[in-house]
Amino acid sequence: MILIKLGGSIITNKEKPLSPRIKTIDNIAKQLKKISEPFVIVHGGGSFGHYWSVKYDMHTKPARYDSHGVAIVKNSMIELNKIILDSLTKNKLNPYCLPPTDFMSGNKPIPSKVREIRKIAESNLIPVTFGDALWYGQKKSYILSGDKIMSILAKALRPRLSIFILNVDGLYSDLNTKRLIYDMKDDQVSIQDIPMDVTGGMTRKVEEATKISKMGLKVFFANGNKPERITNAIQKNRFEGTIFRG
Ligand code: IP8
């Protein structure tokens, strides 16, 4: 079992609201077609969900956010999700859309529903879920990030590899020189040392990736603009990016 997160920065143009990167998504889908073992896809919000959650001031902390904001963020994620599903089906894959409400209650995973995801993945379907605006309870809602979903699923499904697909080669120890960290353990890097990107999105990814690796599971950050790196990691154990060893 493999877990794959398609980051918002690779599937959309983060500089421009509501702009999917269709060609990039298609190229990734073509590589995913080559994978012969069960896998699950999680995708982020990029210039869809993040654009609107910034506009409506919505965050990961449960609070009484503007109801119209919840509706708009959710709608935009469905729109982006449809683009991903269409690309996958066009490339002869069998996505099975699973909005996070299918396996989350408030901010807690529903164990039986999460276990079902493995069964779905083992039956020639590809479960596809995504970061979303979720109902929390007591008139509160919150943004559940796709990165957080990765660690929720990793904990329950124990994938042999979790891959975060980015718009860069991996984790840089220095943003100016773009020196790449190949192995988080060997490089002895801690989260505090990671340079912040503009959105802080990389910090959250590193936090969740570290959490997953501490479960004894392997995590890999790869560049989705070079999608063969995804299949090289899965099929050839060749890791061109940043690896977090479990
Ligand atoms: O891009 C957040 O998912 P992420 C999705 O994985 C929304 O952080 C709704 C902003």
Residue with the bigger pLDDT between 2 and 199: it is 2
20-24, 52-56, 169-173, 221-225, range with the lowest pLDDT: 169-173
According to the model, what pLDDT value does residue 201 have?
A: 73
Contact present, 131 and 101 (Cβ < 8 Å) = no
Q: What value does the mean pLDDT take over residues 52-81?
A: 95
31 close to ligand 1 (CB < 6 Angstrom): no
Going from the Cα of 43 to the center of ligand 1, the distance in angstroms, rounded, reads 8
Q: Taking all residues of the chain, what is their mean pLDDT, rounded to a whole number? A: 92
Q: Is residue 45 predicted with pLDDT exceeding 70?
A: yes
Sorting pLDDT into bands at 50, 70 and 90, what band is 197? very low
38 close to ligand 1 (CB < 6 Angstrom): no
Going from the Cα of 52 to the center of ligand 1, the distance in angstroms, rounded, reads 10
**Which residue, among 28, 38, 3, has the nearest Cα to 219 in the 3D structure?**
3
143 close to ligand 1 (CB < 6 Angstrom): yes
β-strand partners of 129: 42
Task: Please report the DSSP string for 71-102 in residue order.
Answer: HHHHHHHHHHHHHHHHHHHHTT--EEE--GGG
Number of domains within the chain: 1
8 close to ligand 1 (CB < 6 Angstrom): yes
Q: Is residue 196 predicted with pLDDT exceeding 80?
A: no
Q: Whose CA is nearest to atom 1 of ligand 1?
A: 44
Helix (H, G, I), strand (E, B) or coil at 105: strand
What is the model's pTM?
0.94
Chain segment 72-110, per-residue pLDDT in tens: 999 999 999 999 999 999 999 999 999 999 999 999 999
The residue segments making up the domain with residue 156 are 2-244
Q: Is residue 193 predicted with pLDDT exceeding 90?
A: no
Residue with the bigger pLDDT between 159 and 202: it is 159
Going from the Cα of 22 to the center of ligand 1, the distance in angstroms, rounded, reads 18
100 close to ligand 1 (CB < 6 Angstrom): no
133 close to ligand 1 (CB < 6 Angstrom): yes
Nearest atom of ligand 1 to the alpha carbon of 42: 6
Q: Is residue 144 predicted with pLDDT exceeding 90?
A: yes
Displacement of CA 11 from its chain's centroid (Å):
10
Q: Whose CA is nearest to atom 7 of ligand 1?
A: 49
Give the start-end residues of each E strand in the chain. Answer: 2-6, 39-43, 95-97, 104-105, 108-109, 126-130, 132-137, 140-144, 161-166, 171-174, 179-181, 219-223, 242-244
Tell me how many helices (H) and strands (E) the chain has. Answer: 8, 13
Q: Is residue 191 predicted with pLDDT exceeding 90?
A: no
According to the model, what pLDDT value does residue 199 have?
A: 44
Going from the Cα of 55 to the center of ligand 1, the distance in angstroms, rounded, reads 14
Nearest atom of ligand 1 to the alpha carbon of 8: 1
According to the model, what pLDDT value does residue 112 have?
A: 97
Q: Is residue 34 predicted with pLDDT exceeding 90?
A: yes
CATH number of the domain within which 84 lies: 3.40.1160.10
Angle between helices 46-55 and 67-90 (to 10 degrees): 180
β-strand partners of 166: 223
